Chains A and B, each alone.
Chain A
Amino acid sequence: MDKEKIKINPEFYDIMPVEYQELVENATYGKEDRGWKDVGSSKELIEEHSLCAGCPESIAFRHILASLPNPEETVMVGSTGCTSLVFPHIALHNIHSLFGNQNAVASGLKRALAYRFPDKIKDVVVLAGDGATVDIGLDMTLQSWFRQEKFATICFDNELYANTGGQESGLMQKGFVGKMAPAGKQFEKVDMPGLAKTSGCHYVAMLTSSKPNRVEKVIRNAVLIAREIGPTYVQIYTPCILEIGKQMMEGLQEMRDSEGPGQRFEYQEFITDEAKAYMEAKHPKKKRKKKRVEEKKVD
């Protein structure tokens, strides 16, 4: 998709529903400094969705879509789960893969795009739940990292299989009793960031979606590093409020409670020297802005 192609034929402009007119006029395609602060002042790439009221995943989705550096040239690959209910509603190319196959599909897609459009930057971003990433699709996830496939993998970690009723997943915390896991989890939560580091990811981050600034920074890093250097992995806690017995307004607090010092979603970030050098050389923009502010303060 190219921004130039996102235009309504003038003969039909007046009859198009207003959300499409807004998408053309007021969406942030082609804007290099796009970010979460555009939410509310410009047309978002996510429309009405079918997630539960108050679902933290919908907040994460909004912030991620607002943070993609190059949405008009990005293809997202999803998998079975709550995320697959949202993908049909986003103004971005996306592919729904079979359950767990998302990293294998993304590998082929990224290579095909590089072959078909050698002169264009095409980003591929996998976004799937913990069931698809860590349980059913663990093989495909790890193999894509071993092969150094150049795309970002984002895992929405809600610590269980949410839309099928609360079965135990590899990322469920030890001892948690789910609606469909009455005996309680017997094993530790899989250390997926650790696996990502040892499997060859050049950038790894674990966070919640409670801080949009942080989500923006992490997503931007993950996509840009994956574009040139190699695989990246981001794990975001998006609690399923229904399955952990919370009310719709309690999702944000649940994320805040889980990211404190020593908690299981305490912020972690890892970047290889190669990726760090690349980011400093090629994408120093935001850092420069910060420097200018510091210089002014000194003056």
Chain B
Amino acid sequence: MEKYRVLPGPEAFLPPAAACAGVVLPDPGQGHIHGEIVPEDAAMEEAAKRFLSAKVPTIFPGPLVLWGWNENAEQKATAIKALYDVLKSHNNGALLIPMPDYRPKYPKIDPEIEINPNHPNLTIWHNKIDVCMFVGVHCHQANMSLKIIRGGTSCYTIAMCAQAGHEDAMITFRDATPEKIMKLVDAVKRLKDSGASNDVRGTA
């Protein structure tokens, strides 16, 4: 059986969970790209490339970092804002859109100002987002959203996970800390300064 690769969609109305297709989570110090385990630094470089080559690079901060419920969350918020600022300085189309909570909102969300895990595709479609990163979203909701995005959109997904990572993202990091997010900021800055931010879409 051909090895399953976690690639941008639209894959299907109900794409398989990557875990069920044999994709495993990285160990500490590792990440994965399209389901292949790689050293974390390689995943950093790839994420930086994807961000810099995107038309609408977007960060989706979730409740775990939007709310200042402990010191770590406050530090992560600072690091995420730094990442957004560097993306914005490179591409004025960069977006920072919150996922404040997970309730199914009625009558529906405003896709210009928020993303909801029950229909994340609405925000992706509305804003024409081609690369996004989830950070501070609880595991189950992130997995569900990443799967829906892969199923119904062509958006490239990155997960900056504080736990063990996400199989359903195209690039995943694990054990996210404020320092790790700042490391990604540095990777983006370094790549930007080197001018090596050519379009890498289509190389997946």
**Chain A residues near B (Cβ < 8 Å):** 5-12, 15-17, 20, 47-50, 88-89
Contact = CB atoms under 8 A, between A and B. Distances in A.
30 contacts: A5-B67, A5-B68, A5-B69, A6-B67, A7-B67, A7-B68, A9-B67, A9-B68, A9-B74, A9-B77, A10-B68, A11-B80, A12-B61, A12-B77, A12-B96, A15-B97, A15-B113, A16-B98, A17-B98, A17-B110, A17-B113, A17-B114, A47-B103, A48-B105, A48-B107, A49-B106, A88-B104, A89-B103, A89-B105, A89-B106
A11 B81 contact: yes
B106 A20 contact: no
A124 B31 CA distance: 42
B9 interface: no
A8 B67 CA distance: 4
Instruction: Label chain B's interface by main secondary structure.
Output: loop
B66 interface: yes
Nearest to A5: B69
Interface string B88-114: 000000001110100111110010011
Interface string B106-139: 1100100110000000000000000000000000
Contacts of A6: 67
Nearest to B114: A17
Given A5-B67, A9-B68, A20-B100, A48 B78 contact: no
A133 B104 CA distance: 26
Contacts of B69: 5
B73 interface: yes
A8 B77 CA distance: 10
Interface string B22-48: 000000000000000000000000000
B99 to A, nearest CB: 11
Contacts of A7: 67-68
B78 A11 contact: yes
B65 interface: yes
Interface of B: 61, 65-69, 73-74, 77-78, 80-81, 96-98, 100, 103-107, 110, 113-114
Contacts of A20: 100
B110 A9 contact: no
Given A5-B67, A8-B67, A9-B74, A17 B100 contact: yes
A17 B105 CA distance: 12
Q: Which of A9, A15, A47, A49 has the most CB of B within 10 A?
A: A9
B67 A11 contact: no
Nearest to B65: A9
A107 to B, nearest CB: 27
Nearest to B79: A11
Nearest to B67: A8
Nearest to B73: A9
A50 B74 CA distance: 34
Contact of B66 (A16, A47, A48, A49): A16
B104 to A, nearest CB: 6
A15 B103 CA distance: 18
B74 to A, nearest CB: 6
Nearest to A11: B81
Given A7-B68, A9-B66, A12-B81, 9 more contacts: A9-B67, A10-B68, A12-B66, A12-B77, A12-B98, A16-B98, A17-B110, A20-B100, A50-B106
Contacts of A88: 103-104
A5 B97 CA distance: 21
Contacts of A48: 105-107
Contacts of A49: 106
Q: Which of B66, B73, B74 has the most CB of A within 10 A?
A: B66
A72 to B, nearest CB: 13
A9 B136 CA distance: 13
Question: Would you list the 10 A-B pairs with minimal beta carbon distance, nearest first?
Answer: A9-B77, A11-B81, A88-B103, A5-B69, A11-B77, A9-B68, A7-B68, A48-B106, A12-B66, A50-B106
Contacts of B68: 5, 7-10
B197 to A, nearest CB: 25
A15 B74 contact: no
Nearest to B104: A88
A223 to B, nearest CB: 24
Contacts of A89: 103, 105-106
A47 B101 CA distance: 13
A12 B105 CA distance: 20
A88 B100 CA distance: 13
Contacts of B78: 11
